[in-house]
Amino acid sequence: MLPEGAGVASKQNILFVVIDQLRADCVAGALANSARMRNLQALQSDAVSFAHHHSVTNPCGPSRVSILTGQYAMNHGVTRNGTPLAQDVPNLATEARRAGYAPRLYGYTDAAVDPRAHDPADPRMHSYEQVLPGFDEALEMRLEESWPWRGFLKAQGYDVPDYPAIFRSDGPRPDAPAFYRAEHSDTAFLTDRVIEDLRGRPQGWFAHVTYIRPHPPLVAPAPYNTLIDRDSLPAPIRPRPAAAERAAHPYNGPAMDQRPLAANVEGFPDLEESDENLAMLRAIYLGLAAEVDDHIGRLIAFLKDSGQYDETLIVVTADHGEMLGDHHQWGKMSYRNAAFHVPLIIRSPAHRAQFGRRVEAITESVDLAPTILDLIGKDIPDTMDGQSLRPFLEGQSPAGWRNHSFSELSYGDPLVPTRWQRDLGLAAEEANLSVLRTRDHVLVHFNGGLPPLLLARDGDHEAEVSADAAARDRMFEMTRQLLDHRMRHGGGPFRRSMITAEGLKRGTRGTGGAGATPLPLAQVS
């Protein structure tokens, strides 16, 4: 039997970290001065960072499937937590195995299994928090389960309640500390186990590490529960009062109602929507983000101390963002930038010349799997919609690169109608939207007959301009771009394949996106 890592085209290790629900501006942007993300900020200067990186879909399950399959939701079909993924879709783990890696998962992928391949009695058919094919589950750390962590807490003498009470603060206020100490938190436990496991592994390991924090319920151990000075935090982006926000578009009211402020903490259902409580929850969120940053610092220190830092490809990103009270909304079920804009940092030891570079090109979460595969010398499957970011790591600016990002969001449920379905009279198949973002404008197209929106961008601020005189022409042009995008990328696993008299032939992958000239079909075996 070959040892782990044998036959790998590149002997480098892979550390692929995905943080749950981390806004990009916590690392670089409006919240960066208040958030304590020192390790990720330091890593940016020793890597390449991507300033305009967006998730292509939300929430957790769909976004992670897109990250790992390199596919838009319209192609993989996972539009909500619990939607099954076809078992034969190639993904980062299955393809890395073809390059000789044994991808190990420390955490979760939230990929519901294909029901055609499992008996109804199989426990995997009773939870959406399942493992994507191709990964070896080295440590289970799912939000609703996390049995190893719970067992560890009990071994430390804690009285451990069931989920979700395990995430209730140990006091009369949400900012009281968690019942466990910081060295015993879920974030600390995960990091301890990753380092412990990797310490004995030979060169050529692949670790996919997923941190659930700062995902709600918002509860933090001391000192992270009060680490952030809430009085110095920037106010949330709220250009108009709550009543005006509701009236601005039919989507907004249900979005505000389906996740009020109190829904972000466990055990305080009557928490008022006051400025004090708003600042308190924003500070707890940033405290949890700082805790994750501290432990990522431990991972980096381990790599340096063990002499593996310059032998390891490091990729750090988030699955999606968090509204954090902006526009009177919480969570990630929004068309706003804060719900989709996430950090991306890539440290490829083979590309030192670009360390410290901040790439301004528009990139998407579907680009990550193709990038990692490209960097380990593995062909990118035809099924993947994303493009390798390797040219940017090499200092290039690829011609014909995309001039927009594309995101999708389903806010319907085929079993239990959502707030939007009930309030707006929508079927599950109608409760969805698509977002096209350019550098200066955002088009939001709603299904179900809801009116489209045009937003003018100024950094992270988005002002609605749908009623402006010039909006009609801009909306028409961006709608055309949106349709072009879907037509360009829609298709099945054989969209670049042809059966010919000479047998199976495959066409060449095109370049980034809108504005690019499609390459002719090349008869390449």
Provide the annotated active-site residues: 60
List the helix and strand counts (H, then E) for the chain. Answer: 13, 16
Rounded to an integer, what distance in angstroms lies between the CA atom of residue 464 and that of residue 444?
A: 11
Task: For residue 109, give the nearest of 87, 80, 141 by alpha carbon.
Answer: 141
Give me the DSSP letters along 63-80: HHHHHHH---HHHH---S
Task: For residue 5, give the nearest of 245, 207, 246 by alpha carbon.
Answer: 207
How are strands ordered across the β-sheet holding 432-437? Answer: 57-58, 405-410, 432-437, 441-446, 453-458, 461-464
Structure tokens at 297: 């610092």
Instruction: Judge contact between 451 and 439, C-beta under 8 A.
Output: no
Residue 182 CB neighbours (<10 A): 17
Task: For residue 372, give the nearest of 90, 30, 16, 74 by alpha carbon.
Answer: 16
Task: For residue 488, give the nearest of 90, 75, 92, 85 by alpha carbon.
Answer: 75
- Residue whose tokens read 């991306």: 344
Chain length of the chain: 525
DSSP class of 511: -
Structure tokens at 272: 């008022």
What is the β-pairing status of strands 136-140 and 103-107?
Answer: parallel
Rounded to an integer, what distance in angstroms lies between the CA atom of residue 373 and that of residue 134?
A: 14
Which residues in 365-464 belong to E strands, given as ranges? 405-410, 432-437, 441-446, 453-458, 461-464
Instruction: Judge contact between 462 and 455, C-beta under 8 A.
Output: yes
DSSP class of 354: G
Query: Which residues lie below 8 Å from residue 210, measured CB to CB, with a gap of 6+?
Result: 17, 18, 19, 20, 105, 106, 107, 108, 109, 141
